[in-house]
Amino acid sequence: MAETNPFYITTPIYYVNDVPHIGHAYTTIAADVLARYWRLRGREVFFLTGLDEHGQKVQQAAAKAGIDPQAHCDKLAPQFQTLWQRLNISNDAFIRTTDLEHKAIVQRYLQELYDKHLIYQDSYTGWYCTFDERFWTEKDVESGLCPDCKRPVEQLSEHNYFFKMGQYQDRLIEHIKAHPDFIRPESRRNEVLGFLQTQKLGDLSISRPKSRLSWGIELPFDNNYVTYVWFDALVNYMSALEYLPREKPTGNQFWPTNVHLVGKDILTTHAVYWSTMLMALNLPLPETIFAHGWWTVDGEKMSKSRGNVVDPNKMVESYGVDAFRYFLLREVPFGQDGDFSQSAVVTSLNSDLANGIGNLLSRTLTMIERFADGNIPANGPPALPELEEKIARAATQLPATLERGFHALTFRDNLQAIGELVSLCDEYIDKAAPWKLAKNPEDAPKLKTVLNHSARALRLLAVLLHPFMPQTMEQLARQLGYHVDFSKALPASAYEWDSPVSDLPITKSAPLFPRIEITASDTVRIDLKEHVKIEKNASSKKGATPVSDTSATPQPVPAAATTTPATTSATPAAPAAVPAPVAPPQITIDDFMKIQLKTAKVISAERVPKSEKLLKLQVSLGTEQRQIVAGIGKKYDPDALVGKTIVIVANLKPAKLMGIESQGMVLAAGDADVRGLLTIQEEVDPGTKVK
Ligand code: MSP
């Protein structure tokens, strides 16, 4: 199973036109998990990330800031570097395309292609948008307008240098066909193949006249031009190997790259431009280019103008670095799009981490303290043979399953498989009931088995989860008295179920993942200053500890309660119980216009079983019927509502409250208690806009 070959992994190099966001963090965290995993498995790893500092976007951003482009890059670069430190990113090198060495290497490649007659000069005629400073093709332009800014475009002719990309079309098709892992996931591979097999691949303009764009690397054979930013940027994957310091000067042994991780939007530039550039340079092609999906935020595209850009720094502050890392890779299968929301992060943190691995550690250590004087006991006779065998089987198979997953980049499946072992251990503790065994001296040997199994599973879990959550898994190992150096390759025995656990005393300390409890009266909102916030009210707690350590008599050590969706999705649960946030920020009319308020006629209403507060309403919006769960049951009898015309937020994302879907929210006055429902006296058609 052991792999010894080197492993070279890259992220895209990010444009320094703005500060880093969740999209940048996503790729970089995924790359980090892979790098960490393979390092622990003994492979020599080179993990590269960095910045794309040339080109129009950066030049424009600098101009907007009123500073010179280099000064702009120097100002923004530390924002990325600091974020990577916060996110525990273990990159081996950080490239900036304004590095002198990189520039020289790009020029060397350009010269080589020029000398081989693979670059030629030609004139190009296209539709040019002066505002966006870019060309569009005939099919992009609609009614003579720029598809981006909608300003008129003009036909312009320009002399440029072209790379003979088109001549590699057949070779590229053959390469993709012969190497099923070259472009992944498979759906993306099919997209690229489909495009290459149905359209003629043209040549690529690799220059920009300095009169139009000056911020770039000058062509070595014509100083009136700079090179196209993508030619410059893609070369980073090679140039970094040549000049950036590495611990071991192992030359070019890392080429070809094992995995280029990219977002789906930049797959073509990698799969087509970069591959054909490498063919022209007679260099081997990367093993895999993996395109991941995009994150939306609360169902919407993330953008500055929408004010919903998620700042990873704020995520670390709110949830801790590892919960954020975990969420990104557990929430959606790698390769597919995902939706980021505040409540999804909280649910993932509480149910998988606080109630899962965190609680397993906490209850295990509590029991070892109480029943074994703080020392992990040796294994005894079976206590629950069937479950013990099940755990042993799962724990023995898990490392190989995960290794396959790390080859396939199925992070989510890996985390799910790990979660299954955690659940199995919880079930085992619940059923073996060590607190009962502790009451009977004859059961003492069995009690040891239960404690030993739980501790052994945790030791293995620390190793398996370390790449995902390095900081907390180191804490876990320390609390367990397991001394291991995660900065080096681990011995094969670290992955074995039968490995003895440390006999050092345990040191129980703070919970690994404090729970975040959101009650219906908390407001979850997107702060307009671009970060997500939970406004806590006094009754919300962070970090409830599941077990009382001071209790003298053996008590059941519970698995933490699971969070019901109703408690994590705040606003729709009880609209009237949401207090106004302290000093709410001002919003613009555009922000307000995003909220769609409509009249709705109540057709029927009933109480939600076991809830004092919640009513289930069926309302008509004229053209459609909706079900809304509203926290107005203390104030109103269901029957009194039928026939009333109320006001609802019609474009609120559906949420489940006590397992019942709510497709909107009713408006009511009041704070913790509802005092009055917003109703319309006049005859107004249901579904009428309210503003
Ligand atoms: N500079 C180029 C890459 C050159 S690589 C030789 C670039 N930079 S970028 O900063 O604009 O984008 C970097 C990455 O962020 C891309 O992989 C892109 O897919 C990713 N993302 C941007 N927004 C995203 C989301 N909303 N969600 C996930 N990833 C997203 O392109």
Q: How far is the CA of 198 from the centre of ligand 1 (A)?
A: 27
- Residue identifier of the C-alpha nearest atom 21 of ligand 1: 23
Closest CA to 213 of 62, 63, 56, 107: 56
Mean pLDDT by 10 residues, the chain (691 residues): 82 94 98 98 96 94 94 96 98 97 98 98 90 83 90 92 98 98 97 96 95 95 97 97 73 87 97 98 98 96 92 96 98 96 93 96 97 94 97 98 98 98 97 96 97 97 98 97 95 94 85 79 39 41 34 45 33 27 56 84 88 88 87 88 91 84 88 81 86 83
pLDDT of residue 676: 86
Q: How far is the CA of 13 from the centre of ligand 1 (A)?
A: 8
Q: How far is the CA of 59 from the centre of ligand 1 (A)?
A: 18
Q: How far is the CA of 21 from the centre of ligand 1 (A)?
A: 10
pLDDT of residue 574: 27
How do residues 130-153 score in pLDDT, each as one tens digit? 877 788 888 889 899 999 889 999
207-209 and 222-227: which strand pairing?
Answer: antiparallel
Q: Report the distance separating Cα 360 and Cα 364, nearest Å.
A: 6
Residue 75, helix vs strand vs coil: helix
Q: Which long-range contacts (CB under 8 A, 24 or more apart) does 621-628 make?
A: 621/650, 621/686, 621/687, 622/685, 622/686, 622/687, 622/688, 623/687, 624/687, 626/600, 626/650, 626/663, 626/664, 627/660, 627/661, 627/662, 627/663, 628/600, 628/662, 628/663, 628/664, 628/665, 628/666
- Residue identifier of the C-alpha nearest atom 13 of ligand 1: 14
DSSP for 564-580 reads PHHHHSHHHH-GGG-PP
Closest CA to 136 of 150, 121, 144, 146: 146
Closest CA to 376 of 464, 447, 471: 447
Q: How far is the CA of 126 from the centre of ligand 1 (A)?
A: 27
Strand partners of residue 46: 8
- Which of 10, 14, 329 has most ligand 1 atoms within 8 Å of CB, for mutation? 14
pLDDT of residue 210: 95
Cβ pair 644, 599 in contact under 8 A = no
Q: How far is the CA of 27 from the centre of ligand 1 (A)?
A: 8
Find how far residue 156's CA is from the centre of its chain: 42
Residue 475, helix vs strand vs coil: helix
pLDDT of residue 130: 80
Nearest ligand 1 atom to the CA of 236 is 6
Give the whole-number percent of the chain exceeding pLDDT 90.
69
- Which of 15, 22, 73 has most ligand 1 atoms within 8 Å of CB, for mutation? 15
The ligand 1 site (C-beta within 6 Å) comprises 12-15, 23-24, 26-27, 52, 233-234, 236, 262-263, 265-266, 294-295, 302
- Residue identifier of the C-alpha nearest atom 30 of ligand 1: 23
Residue 346, helix vs strand vs coil: helix
- Residue identifier of the C-alpha nearest atom 10 of ligand 1: 14
List, in order of start, the domains of the chain with CATH numbers.
7-164+203-255 (3.40.50.620), 342-495 (1.10.730.10), 517-550 (no CATH), 596-677 (2.40.50.140)
Q: How far is the CA of 263 from the centre of ligand 1 (A)?
A: 6
Nearest ligand 1 atom to the CA of 234 is 6
The model's pTM is: 0.78
pLDDT of residue 600: 93
- Which of 266, 304, 337, 339 has most ligand 1 atoms within 8 Å of CB, for mutation? 266
Q: How far is the CA of 26 from the centre of ligand 1 (A)?
A: 10
Q: How far is the CA of 562 from the centre of ligand 1 (A)?
A: 36
Cβ pair 93, 48 in contact under 8 A = yes
Q: How far is the CA of 12 from the centre of ligand 1 (A)?
A: 7
Nearest ligand 1 atom to the CA of 301 is 26
Q: How far is the CA of 23 from the centre of ligand 1 (A)?
A: 7
- Residue identifier of the C-alpha nearest atom 23 of ligand 1: 23
Residue 216, helix vs strand vs coil: coil
Alpha-helical (H) ranges within 508-573 are 565-568, 570-573
